[in-house]
Amino acid sequence: MQSSPWWKEATIYQVYPRSFFDSNGDGEGDLPGITARLDYVQQLGVDAIWLSPFYTSPNKDGGYDVADPRGVDPRFGNLEDAKELITAAHQRSLRVIADIVPNHFSDQHHWFQAALKAPRGSKERARFHFYDANSDGTPPNNWISLFGGPSWTQVEDGQFYLHLFDSSQPDLNWENPEVSEDFEKTLRFWIDLGIDGFRIDVAHGLVKEDILKNHPDPQGLSDALRLDLAMDTEKRNALLLTVPYFDRQGVHEIYREWRKIFDSYIGRDIMAVAEAWVHPPVNATRYVRADELHQVFNFDLLTAEFTAKVLYDVIDRSIALNATVNALPTWALSNHDSPRVVSRIGQEQAGALALFVFGLPGSTYVFAGQELGLPDGELSDSDRQDPSFFRTKGVIKGRDGARVPLPWSGDATPFGFTTGKPWLPISQSWSQFTVKSELKNPKSSLHLYQNALKLRKEFMNGSGEITWVESPEHASKGQALLAYHRGSVTVFMNLTDITQECKVDGKLLIVSSGTVDAHNEMKVIPARSCAWFIA
């Protein structure tokens, strides 16, 4: 009997290298620092680590502006450090997923430097999107960068190049075979080094259409595509239906070729997960068809309100849509591009929601620090480094708050992260969130995650589908509770500010906060909490 692929119901721990642990005192996390803390990651109970970019980069956009996708930036170490990290992870039965950034390069990449020196119509410029100005000297179209400001920058000879993000990140032209050939080299380079999979940045953005056409609401569309900006859901969805540069049919041809590469490594079970925030949601399932990628991120929980109706709709729809292509969903509450879940919905609510999704079928992604219950960092404008902050002249604060380094130990900032000055300041208020203090506290968020992930492996993984027993669709108590059966376990979540009674047989396995009491034949679920019971 063939075993299920390792990634099907894995828990993947996202490490933002610059913010994890600094091994040399320069104020920035690095690859040896990650290696030094792998025992902590293993003891958390995850199955894999996902490394945000550590490649050679001028770091204009947190490393997502890649100057050499097959090299390690000196701020993080060197190639030998990468090899040691991969080996050390494998020794602890941890798989390693690397970010890959195929939508754009850094403007310091040798291809783009050559393009700047080359004339119009040259093969060097054909690797990117260079176009002449309009007759009035304006850019080829009115598109707005997702980081604010125009999506076009003019070079000395008058042509413009396209960048959906910062001007230091020119978009690649995937109609040029040289681009696909170079990325095949990159994929094989890291797989041969031991990498077990890839998180594909802006996976839906590689193919553009109607480049010379204006959009009727370019600023609105740019805002709609940002996870860190609040927007009316109906308005956001209407704008997403009009995007000309994301989720075009051509991206699927690219990933069919990538899948052939992954499958050529017999016995390795190489996987890839797409960062593809698309609308309507059914479009996401196209990325995980049998001959394409293995997973696609479900971003709905990154913006979902802590209400029964919203969460039920998101979860039920995701499970149903993935079933149409014989795939399992992914679940993520935080990442490096969005506000931390605690800051968005509250401390107790975040713990309850984490426990609730840990029981669901599919894989779950945990952003480093989420297990500690970290909120967004407290930053002044002078601390900020996100390009979106500068491109919008401070209107958009950016993503730095979610990227503040982790607190490890001690009573004073920077809490053992570094012996130097951390690249982003760590608030003294985080003393309660250090790894050392939470390990001593049996009621801490860290202990909740450790216990929950152990129980997930023991009782949930491989247990098949869920059956809803409390939901807005067929609840006996309105929207007070969400609950489902999976295998021998029943999961109840109380989303209200008061205790709720539920009828459930079985023994309590875990509760996210508070104490579950018994009242006659009923169990009393604490406010803003989730509990698992086993029959």
Do 202 and 171 touch, CB atoms closer than 8 A?
no
Question: d(Cα 354, Cα 338) in Å, to the nearest integer?
Answer: 16
| Nearest CA-CA partner of 376 in 410, 349, 348, 344 | 344
CA atoms within 13 A on the CB side of 325: 21
Query: Which segments of 347-476 does DSSP mark as H helices, in order?
Result: 347-358, 387-391, 435-440, 445-455
Name the CA dihedral angle for 197, 375, 88, 100, rounded to a multiple of 10 degrees: 30
CA angle centred on 186, ends 181 and 190, rounded to 5°:
150
Among 13, 17, 34, residue whose Cα is nearest residue 86: 34
Cα(415)–Cα(412) distance, rounded to whole angstroms? 6
74/377 Cα distance (integer angstroms): 26
SS3 81: helix
Radius of gyration (C-alpha) of the chain in whole angstroms: 23
Short-list 2, 38, 186, CA closest to 101: 186
- Helix H or strand E segment including 365: strand 363-367
Tokens, residue 65: 């502006």
Q: Which residues pair with 485 in a beta bridge?
A: 467, 490
Choosing from 275, 371, 386, 501, the catalytic residue is: 275
- The residue with tokens 């030998």 is 80
- Tokens representing 530 are 């989730």
Angle, CA 208 vertex, CA 127 and CA 386 arms, to 5° = 80
Question: What's the burial of 464, exposed, middle or buried (CB within 10 Å: 0-12/13-18/19+)?
Answer: exposed
Whether 124 is a known active-site residue: answer no
Measured distance CA(372)–CA(366) in Å, rounded: 11
Contacts of 87 (CB under 8 A, 6+ apart): 194
- Strands (E) in 101-150, as ranges, are 130-131
- 28-to-15, 23, 521 alpha-carbon distances in Å: 13, 8, 55
Give counts: helices (H), strands (E), the chain.
Answer: 14, 21
Catalytic residue flag (residue 73): no
Cis peptide before 526 (omega within 30 of 0): no
Active-site residue (options: 61, 81, 124, 201): 201
Contact 354, 348 (CB under 8 A): no
CB-based contacts of 293, cutoff 8 Å, min separation 6: 200, 203, 255, 258, 259, 272, 273, 274, 287
Cα–Cα distance between 34 and 81 in angstroms, integer? Answer: 10
| Catalytic residue list | 201, 275
